[in-house]
Structures are given as C-alpha cells and as structure tokens.
Structure 1
Amino acid sequence: MQEIRQVAAAIDLRVRQLEAQGIKGPAIADHMFGYMAGLQRIYDTASDETLIDLSRRYPGFHHYATLMEALSEKNQAMMEAGTHPHGDLPVLPEPIKLSLESCWRAPPNWNAAINPRWIPVALPTTSMNSRG
C-alpha cells in the first residue's frame, strides 16, 4: 500500500509540474512515459476503494489516470474500426517490453548513470555560424 501511495504521489507531483509549465490535456501523456508502468501496477493491485482514495488525495494522479483511460479507449476504438495509424504493427515480445520499461525508468541523464563522476559542461549559447 505504501508503494502505491508513493507512485500516486509522484504522478501527482509530475502532473502538477507539467501543468504549471503550461502543458495540458493529452500533451501531458507525452511527458509521462516513465510513469505508465507505475500506473499499470496501481491498476493491477489496488482495490476500487484504494483507487477512489488515491484520486481524492492526489488530483494530478486522478487527472493522469483519467487521461490515460480516455486515450486507451480511443486507441481501442481505432483498432476495432481499422483506422488506427499503427494497427498493422506486431505486438512486442515480453523481453523487449521489459527492456523498454527499464529505459523509461532510467535516469534522464545517461552520462551520469554510466559514469557517476561525469560533470555536465555548459555549451556555448551562440552557434559557430553566428561569428561576425
């Protein structure tokens, strides 16, 4: 139960951050790939009562869950109607799905993940072509 609350709180926080940046509606999903597995884990393990409680406590979680449900329903309707733009793609094998899921959860800074001593260097803000 504690893990479920932590995932819901993390989703809530990220959704609120995105909305504060002006990202709204379906565009939120584009920024939340790393949270899809956590949301699915909550769906798979939480009771209806727990989902209701999480939705009340964490409005950002509720917003994201509702958005993903609507996108899923739209996706399914397009598949059934034969109008899905990627309907001919095969289903990925489980090992590949697991690899992709681990990539989504990886730190956004790959260099730091590979080499903890790596220090980011600020790049110049002017381009090479702008020299006079």
Structure 2
Amino acid sequence: MAFFRPGVSREAEVRHHADQEVGKSFGELLEKARGAEHELRRTQASRAGAAELRAAGLAFDRALTDALRAAEAAQRAAFGVKAYDDRIRRRKGVATPEGARWTAEVNKLRTLREENRLTGIARVPRPFAPAR
C-alpha cells in the first residue's frame, strides 16, 4: 500500500532559496542599522536642528527596515521549505530552536522600529501659510 505524500511545489523551492540568499545579508544589514542608530544618538546628543534629527531618524528607520526584511527572510528559510505551503509546518518551524531564535530577533527588530517611528523621527514644523 502506497501513501500519497505531496511534494514541495516549485514555487516554494524558489522562495526558499531566495529567502536563504536574502537572509545571508542579515549580519551586514544589522551592522548598518547599529551604525545608523549610533549616528542618530550622536545627533540627538549634539542638540542638532529638527531637520538633522529627522534625517538621522529616517536613515535609522530605513536601516532597521532592511535588517528586518533580511531577518524575516532568514526566519522563513529556517522554518524549512515545506513551511511555504503548509501552515502546520510553519507552526512547527517556530517551535525549533533556530526558528524560535529568528522569531525573537524579528520581534525585537519590529519593536525597535516601531519605537523609532513613534519617538525617534523628529517632526519638522511646516512654515506658516496664511489662509486665503
């Protein structure tokens, strides 16, 4: 008696390999985010103008977003190729040590990005325009 086991779709294999490639750049992107954060903190400490603070905050946000995308790709790749087609495999992937590590990293980066978006990006006041 033969049991039917569905194979992995070609699309899942392609996405898995793409996520593996993107995930390899995580360390480099995380270092860029650390550098952008250092620059933001230095700008805040020097009591720079609102425009400079905003530029540094936005640069940090872009660096965090890039690092977050790489971490999410590495997380999906850590779950395995079957997790792209099956939600139960995804849930099982989170329970593995590597999957849990990447999930924690993704959550940490999301929290840091949201904190930066709420408090780290300075608002630049608009010039006053009289009503017509």
Same fold (TM over 0.5): no
Larger Rg, first or second structure (1 or 2)? 2
* Range of TM-score over shorter length: 0.3 to 0.5
TM-score (norm 1): 0.33
Report the TM-score, using the length of structure 2 for normalisation: 0.33
Structure with larger RCO (C-alpha < 8 A, sep 6+): 2
Higher helix share: 2
